[in-house]
Amino acid sequence: MILGRELGSGNFGQVWLGECRGMTVAVKRLHQQEFDEAVLEEFKKEVAMMVTLTHPNLVLFMGACPIPGNMQIITEYMCNGDLSTVLGDKSINLSFVQKCKMAKDITNAMMWLHNCKPPVIHRDLKPGNLLVGVNYIVKLCDFGLSVFQVDKYLQDTGSAGGSMLWMSPEVLKGEPFTEKRDVYAFGLVLWELFTGDEPFAEYFDPQEFMNAITIRGERPPLGKLNKNLAKLIDACWAHSPNVRPSMSKVLPWINQIMIEVLPCPKATEMWKLNWPESAEVPFPQFAAGMATHFGEKYDPDAPTVKFQCLRRLICGTVVTNPIVKLERFALVLNWMGAFEVRGQEPWLNRMVTLMSCPWFHGDVERPAAEKNVYSSNKNNSYLVRFSLTDAVRTPFTLSKVSKKNATTITHLRITRAPDGESHWIFAEKNGQQQKIEAQGGLPGLILMAKKALKLENVVQGSPYADLFPMNQDPSKMQSLEQTGPAEEASASESSSF
């Protein structure tokens, strides 16, 4: 066994990065190493509990050394530390869907414990005991305080086990408890996960904190949270254990919250109808669901250009087993708009029209966009891309080379009206900002803005060019650059410019 740096410290021991038999592991060494019966029993209890419990969302037990002076537990290593560390790292920006997936990981772990026979009560659920691995998978650890619930109720003897901030009212009062004490702690963990804040930071005196929880029934504020999420948290940390939901009932609740993040009611309805329990689905299933919704036909062996475009837009260039993730679908909907928009063609047609435009480069990031524009070696070269800054209000960005200075690239945001029926962009004329607005989709706006913005040369290299080989015909390229797709050529000619 080779020990590296210290990863953290808990109630009973320090955790170190280690290497065992060629594998990177986490090594928990007990603070107290002298031969003490109470310490040894506590150690044996945690090892026995970890040997018994196996689940993808429980940290994997790999071995232990019970020899006094070298007592340690070896588990799998989780590369992102604990949840408390992740939430405190401001460079990590977790999306709402990602947080929902992490909440589901915690729920699955707790469901496994509570559905054991007899049930297992963790008794110390908190962010510090939730480890985060690759792709932000969450696994529960630290079973030193866990107990089997042989009787209907359990009673702590002496000081209550666990961390005070996450203790339920009945535990703080020294009353009998059930697995619902874990549900209370889960409510607080959910609140921390979705707000990024520390609960009860205003309290320093333990007795005052206990009075606030047990007598005044105080809880952290819920005002800024999604309404359904707030209801779930409020139910979990209810004062009465009997009111708190079981973890089995929490799981479908989180699934519904996650699906509701979709910015289009019709899309939410479609996802709930087809995949109510999933945050991701194989593309063939997704395409079949979309086809049914829009009255189209989908043949996985011979997909039409619509479904080829759909796959590329949502799954990228993945060749085998493409997966549609709810998070990505939500982002694409923010960019493309709702399924149904008055005065615009159907969503799938709108998607194909946009992706067929040679100047459209999808969700290329700013540095890559600038490199592509520079490499065009032509003045007034331009491309249009998805905006990663504010996908709802300004879903597109036009990147172009200035005619006056070929080394200067301008990035202009394109705004979509709240109802989705028009797009606009601002151009400078005589030192003033003038608004150019076109009804319908983005291609109509680009067509209308060509003269005012001096958009002369399309930057080549669209990631969707291979889906439209006819657009690469030199004899047709000039026409496409000048007019855009035929479907959009009739865009409204009214402009405030």
Distance set, CA 339 to CA 17, 96, 348, 362, 450 (Å):
49, 21, 8, 19, 28
DSSP 42-61: HHHHHHHHHHH---TTBPPE
User: What are the tokens at 295?
Assistant: 């009255």
Of residues 36, 82, 105, 124, which has the active-site annotation? 124
Contact 310, 333 (CB under 8 A): no
**Strands 381-386 vs 323-325: parallel, antiparallel or unpaired:** unpaired
Backbone CA torsion sign across 304, 342, 335, 374: positive
Hey, which residues does 141 pair with through a beta bridge? none
- Tokens matching residue 349: 């047609």
Exposure of 284 by Cβ count < 10 A (0-12 exposed, 13-18 middle, 19+ buried)? middle
Q: Phi and psi at residue 324, in whole multiples of 5°?
A: -95, 115
What is the C-alpha to C-alpha distance for residues 56 and 151, in angstroms, rounded to an integer?
28
Beta bridge partners of residue 75, listed in sequence order: 26, 61
Nearest C-alpha neighbor of 46 from the set 156, 131, 109, 122: 122
- Residue 378 corresponds to which tokens in the numbers above? 């032509």
Torsion of Cα atoms, 150 then 156 then 157 then 162, to 10°: 120
CB 395 within 8 Å of CB 338: no
The backbone torsions φ and ψ at residue 58, rounded to the nearest 5 degrees and listed phi first, read -115, 135
Residues 6+ apart with CB under 8 A from 221: none
Assess contact for 375 and 352: CB atoms under 8 A.
no
Q: Is the peptide bond before 220 cis (omega within 30 degrees of 0)?
A: no
Q: End-to-end alpha-carbon separation of the chain, Å?
A: 72
Q: How is 345-383 classified by DSSP, letter by letter?
A: --HHHHHHHHHTSTTB-TT--HHHHHHHHHHT--TTEEE
142: annotated active-site residue: no
User: Which residues, at least 6 apart from 108, have a Cβ–Cβ distance to it below 8 Å?
Assistant: 55, 56, 57, 251
Q: Which residues are known catalytic residues?
A: 124
